[in-house]
Amino acid sequence: MSATHPDGSGNHGRKLPLFYRLIQNSSASVLVLLVVLIVIGRFMNSNFLDWGNLTSIFRSTSFVAIIALGMTFVFIALELDLSVGSVVALSGIVVGMLLKEGVPIPVAFVAGVLSGLASGIVTGFVIVHFNIPSMIGSLGMQFILRGVVYVVTKGIPLYPLPEGFEELGLGNVLGIPTPWLIYMALAAVFWYLLKHTTYGRAIYAIGGNKDTAWLCGLNVKTLRMSTYWITGALSGLVGVLLASRLSSAQPNAGQTWEMLVIASIIVGGVSMFGGVGTIVGTVIGSLLIGMLTNFLVMIRLSVYWQNIAIGVIILGAVILDQYRKNLALRMR
Amino acid sequence: MKKTLGFLAALLLCAAAASAGQRVTFVPPLVANPYWDVVERGARLAAKEYNVELDYVGPTQLDINEMMKYLEAAIAQRVDGIATMALNEAALAPIINQAVGAGIPVILVDTDAPKSRRTAYAGTDNVTAGKVLGENLARIKNGKAKIGMMTGALDQPSLNQRMEGFRQAIASYPDMVEVALEGDNSDLQICIQKGEAMLRAYPEIDALAGFEGFGVPGLSRVVKEAGKVGQITVVGFDDLADTFAFIRDGTAIGTTVQRQFMMGYLGVELAVKAANGEKLNSIYDTGVLFIDKSNIDTFDPEAK
């Protein structure tokens, strides 16, 4: 066994040619595709790289991208959380209802995040304690939480919300959208957590081989559950940010987002089979998936063709990455 | 033996209870949806006034198969009347015919299925509603506009019909031009995202028309955040709370409402009347209104 880092960057210490290092880097292919799309976008529409358009992309990308940070942990641990979109709606409704009751914004903010964390705790407990497949366990939670939202709201958006609340999702700091700044900060935290802490290494370990990890003395059950706590809390945060950005709490918020989140991380090089993935890859994958909506409108592609284009780009990203992996194996 | 007798007695009691009042099943294409909630309130009022038992049941996401299951269950229970919406005429016509064949009147609301044997239809067809929006936009823009359109899901018949009517209306004005069409899947966040991109990709746009309920709230936010209130005319459909708020503050000019409370009311009323042997018309027009600043304060969505 060569000393390959679980994040795919092998051969520590040796200085290698740039191309070789690029091929070995799990984020390289998606980065190349991202650059290609940006060049095409700029070529087809000279306004594509305007600061105004970039901030629009950054702001709208932040929401799914924040959840993708957590889903990276979930996938590396060989778990699956399909409930994230429903958690987004739930926490939005929680924060919306509290604000309408006159609760101060910071308190409502915290309550929204906590409602997400609580959902994640339940999801993790159900899946790990009853030892049921994570796909079914989290799908059940997806239905239950969305159902709770419909029961509480009867499908009607909560509007209006108090003045000032929209500042969080709609505001800028030094010209940069606030949700994007929050995302960048969280990405740094989770990058450190995954790559440089014992906890992060343990997540890789249980995703690589649960039995070995258990034999090594890791508390596999708690570690597995903890990944749902992360997605839960992050989805809760996103629910609050989205309600703020939309200055209303929408019962259908986050519907089908689990697929966008999963596409973002898989395109970013996270493995479906556990044990492999990086935060850097996830960030690039999230940007790629997140900018597609804007990109396809900006290049003026007919709305009837947009789904085909999205499918082709996602497939292209994954095929390109597979090609890179094969090349990297041969170059070892 | 005792058990069986008890069971039979219970069954008889049930049958007696059921025959005491009439039962109507209302199957909307969506429950827990702002538009259909108003329909439900209309249906419940009629059920109260006519003293009938109302089952208001339907799927939480558009799903024709789910709708068919609810309709089949209603036929199996031999309810006195059914009210529903023809989400897809081809798919629903056989089951509508089956109900009518079994002696259960079927009232369609919102979207008609004229080729089926349905008893009656109550609503305004979406093509007409689209025309009303197109005519009003032409009036507001003096027959000259470059229009960005925002629909929901690309395969939703009601939205496609609204667009068809809208396009028919603007076709008679040579300077009313459709510049772009985007779809937001009935998601406010995507509506805003695509609306922002649309204004950048097509800077010539001076009017935005939303065809699903989130159109006016989403596109109004886009115009407001871009600082283009007054330069870009926002119009659309339906009556969400923020749609009205944006009309009141002047960001949006107007919205087209189909009186869906009346549709719900008529759905139940006509079903009861048909069950009692009354002869019905084929079509009941519930009308369509264009709401702007001038009439927003007198508009009552629950007026009969």
Q: What is the pLDDT of residue B6?
A: 53
What digits encode the pLDDT tens for the residues B192-212? 999 999 999 999 999 999 999
Task: Quote the Cα angle for A302-A306-A309, to 5°.
Answer: 125
With b meaning 16 or more CB within 10 Å and e meaning fewer, what string describes B240-270?
Answer: bebbbbbbeeebbbbbbbbbbbbbbbbbbbb
Does the CB of A305 have a partner CB in chain B at under 8 Å? no
Chain B contact for A250, CB < 8 A? yes
Residues of B in contact with A170 (CB under 8 A): 225
In a domain, A6, yes or no: no
Judge if B182 and B38 occupy the same domain.
no
User: What distance in Å separates residue A155's CA from the closest CA in chain B?
Assistant: 4
Structural domain including B265 reads: 21-124+260-287
For residue A3, tell me if it sits in a domain.
no
User: The domain spanning residue B70 has which CATH number?
Assistant: 3.40.50.2300
Give the pLDDT confidence of A265-316 residue by residue, as tens digits.
999 999 999 999 999 999 999 999 999 999 999 999 999 999 999 999 999 9
Q: For chain B, how many structural domains are there in total? A: 2
- In a domain, residue A12? The reply is no
Residues A14-50 have pLDDT tens digits of 567 777 777 788 788 899 999 999 999 999 999 999 9
Contacts of B41 in chain A (CB under 8 A): none
Q: Are residues B250 and B264 in the same domain?
A: no
Q: Is B264 found in the same domain as B149?
A: no
Burial A43-65 (b: 16+ CB within 10 A, else e): eebeebeeeebbbbbbbbbbbbb
Q: Cα B268 from chain centroid?
A: 16
Helix (H, G, I), strand (E, B) or coil at A116: helix
The minimum CA-CA distance between B107 and chain A, rounded to whole Å, is 24
Q: Are residues B96 and B157 in the same domain?
A: no
Q: Which domain holds residue A41?
A: 18-331
In-domain check, residue B6: no
Average of per-residue pLDDT across A202-226? 93
| CATH assignment of the domain containing A315 | 1.10.3470
Domains in chain A, number: 1
pLDDT, mean of residues B147-156:
94
- Residues on chain A touching B60 (C-beta within 8 angstroms): 146-147, 150
ipTM for this model: 0.88
* Residue A9 confidence (pLDDT) above 80: no
Position B299 in a domain: no
Please give the distance of CA A39 from its chain centroid, rounded to a whole number. Answer: 25
Q: Does A1 reside within a domain? A: no
